[in-house]
């Protein structure tokens, strides 16, 4: 049945991956988490194609920071670690998070 739907182009892993990625991006999720979730849903083959037109992840992270914490930098190391854990859970890399914190100082 899936083959028939795929042949008629009614079911497309690529369209699903693009739609799912866009949805998760709008909710503030990062590239690591989105890629993991797509692979978890069985669309391994098209993940790289979806991320060819990826947004500026650093800008997405910066917007998420401003939305959640405002423009202020973390006050101390405990707060910095708390924010870093939040961003890692959302799917951003350690390098992206460090770059964000460096921009805030």
Read off the pLDDT of residues 30-66 as tens digits, 9 standing for 90 and up: 999 998 999 898 887 666 666 777 788 999 999 999 9
Is the alpha carbon torsion for 71, 90, 33, 50 positive or negative?
negative
Read off the pLDDT of residues 70-84 as tens digits, 9 standing for 90 and up: 988 898 999 999 999
Sorted by where each starts, the structural domains of the chain and their CATH numbers stand as 1-55 (no CATH), 56-105 (1.10.10)
Assess whether pLDDT exceeds 70 at residue 6.
no
DSSP for 46-97, please give it. Answer: GHHHHGGG---HHHHHHHHHHHHH-SPPPSSHHHHHHHHHHHHHHT--HHHH
């Amino acid at each position: 049945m899936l083959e028939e739907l795929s042949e008629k182009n009614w079911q497309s892993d690529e369209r699903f991956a693009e739609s799912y990625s866009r949805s998760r991006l709008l909710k503030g999720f990062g590239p690591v988490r989105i890629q993991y979730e797509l692979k978890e849903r069985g669309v391994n083959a098209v993940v790289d194609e979806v991320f060819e037109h990826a947004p500026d992840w650093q800008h997405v992270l910066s917007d998420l920071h401003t939305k959640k914490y405002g423009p202020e930098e973390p006050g101390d190391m405990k707060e910095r670690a708390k924010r870093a854990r939040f961003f890692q859970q959302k799917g951003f890399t350690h390098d992206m998070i460090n770059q964000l914190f460096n921009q805030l100082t």
